[in-house]
């Protein structure tokens, strides 16, 4: 079988491997589509905050496929099932893991494609606990957006004890994570957050999805509201973070979804004196993945997600071109580049 490894900065290689064998408690999955994420492109460019190529692992962590083999006497999964991959592996023993939060495991948290073999391959063998069953009627090309959708779902769920309808809601950054967070708010809570985005091609897409778009926070007319806003920070741009903290109407809740490099300083005085509640959101929990699959069952969600996918789907052999296309940003207003495995 074929698989993709990043063997140097800005260089992928197609490698030939034997098809994986079936182990007890595992399934063999024919990967249909893999998505390219910002962390993948940063690694490809040698800009990842903690890893540089090569790691000798198969790349990729956003993937969907079809089960071709499954361990005998398995309950819940069968050959032919459509599945999404949960690429997050915790130690399984720390206080976070045993309480259902491997996403914040601090003992041995690993993500496929970076510290484990990933999903940009024709076949993978994977523990059944890391499969999420999908409705077989869902187009797998659309289902390839499942993993980032789960990131947005988790972030919104962190505010489950807050009545979101009482707050103006702003999302900074109209990339994939900003959009899927907006779609979770739209379809689960009937909310239409304002999205901050300056890329005009993206603005067109965001408007088509029903969102109001502004160039910066200062343009958002919420000063007549008696409630401070909730802001989901999805840009990962330090200047944007500073604008949030320094804005005239500071948020009551600031949810950090975007990843920042180590070593960033924060104006703690402004945070403390403004009573800004900062909530950090990292990836997702197993429960989030189950609920994201339910959300993905909705036809209206599938319709919206289909609009963010770049029209050209690349082959495994063209992985370099796929990465370069994703990095270029020239996606005709779309957001997600896919590879057909």
- Report the alpha-carbon distance of residue 233 to residue 237 in Å, rounded: 9
Q: What letter does residue 279 receive in the DSSP assignment?
A: E
**Confidence at residue 261, expressed as pLDDT on a 0 to 100 scale:** 79
pTM: 0.97
Beta strand pairing call for 194-196 and 212-214: parallel
**Confidence at residue 223, expressed as pLDDT on a 0 to 100 scale:** 55
Query: E strands of the chain, at which residues?
Result: 2-8, 11-16, 26-35, 62-70, 82-85, 88-89, 110-111, 123-127, 131-133, 169-172, 194-196, 212-214, 230-233, 253-256, 277-280, 314-315, 338-340
- Report the alpha-carbon distance of residue 98 to residue 24 in Å, rounded: 23
Which fold does the domain 2-145+308-340 belong to in CATH? Quinone Oxidoreductase; Chain A, domain 1 (3.90.180)
Q: What is the pLDDT along the chain (341 residues), one digit of tens a residue?
A: 999 999 999 999 999 999 999 989 999 999 999 999 999 999 999 988 778 899 899 999 999 999 999 999 889 999 999 999 999 999 999 999 999 999 999 999 999 999 999 999 999 999 999 999 999 999 999 999 999 999 999 999 999 999 999 999 999 999 999 999 999 999 999 999 999 999 999 999 999 999 999 998 888 876 567 889 999 999 999 999 999 998 888 999 999 999 887 778 888 999 999 999 999 999 999 999 999 999 999 999 999 999 999 999 999 999 999 999 999 999 999 999 999 99
State the CATH architecture for 151-280: 3-Layer(aba) Sandwich (3.40)
Torsion of CA 111, 113, 117, 120, to 10 degrees: 130
Domain ranges of the chain: 2-145+308-340, 151-280
**Confidence at residue 86, expressed as pLDDT on a 0 to 100 scale:** 99
């Amino acid at each position: 079988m074929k698989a993709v490894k990043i063997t140097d900065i800005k260089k992928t290689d197609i490698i030939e491997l034997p098809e994986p064998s079936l182990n007890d408690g595992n399934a063999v999955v024919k990967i249909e589509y893999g998505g390219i994420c910002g962390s993948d492109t940063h690694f490809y460019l040698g800009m990842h905050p903690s890893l540089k190529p090569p790691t000798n692992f198969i790349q990729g962590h956003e993937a969907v496929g079809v089960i071709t083999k499954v361990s005998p006497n398995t309950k819940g999964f069968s050959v032919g099932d459509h599945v999404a991959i949960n690429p997050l592996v915790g130690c399984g023993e720390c206080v976070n893991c045993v309480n259902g939060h491997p996403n914040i495991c601090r003992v041995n948290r690993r993500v496929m494609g970076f510290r484990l073999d990933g999903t940009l391959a024709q076949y993978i063998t994977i523990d059944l606990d890391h499969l999420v069953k999908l409705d077989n009627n869902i187009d797998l090309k659309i289902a390839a957006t499942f993993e980032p959708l789960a990131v947005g779902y988790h972030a919104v769920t962190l505010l489950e004890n807050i009545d979101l309808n009482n707050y103006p809601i702003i999302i900074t950054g109209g990339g994939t994570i900003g959009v899927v967070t907006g779609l979770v708010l739209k379809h689960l809570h009937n909310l239409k957050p304002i999205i901050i985005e300056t890329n005009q091609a993206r603005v067109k897409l965001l408007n088509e999805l029903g969102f109001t778009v502004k160039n910066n926070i200062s343009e958002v007319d919420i000063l007549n509201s008696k409630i401070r806003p909730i802001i989901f920070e999805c840009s990962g741009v330090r200047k944007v973070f500073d604008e949030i903290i320094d804005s005239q109407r500071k948020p009551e809740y600031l949810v950090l979804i975007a990843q920042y490099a180590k070593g960033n300083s924060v104006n703690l005085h402004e945070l403390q004196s403004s009573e800004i509640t900062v909530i950090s959101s990292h990836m997702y929990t197993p429960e989030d993945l189950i609920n994201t699959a339910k959300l993905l069952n909705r036809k209206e969600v599938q319709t919206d997600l289909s609009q963010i996918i770049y029209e050209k789907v690349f082959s495994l052999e063209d992985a370099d071109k796929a990465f370069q296309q994703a990095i270029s940003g020239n996606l005709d207003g779309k957001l997600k580049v896919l590879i057909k495995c």
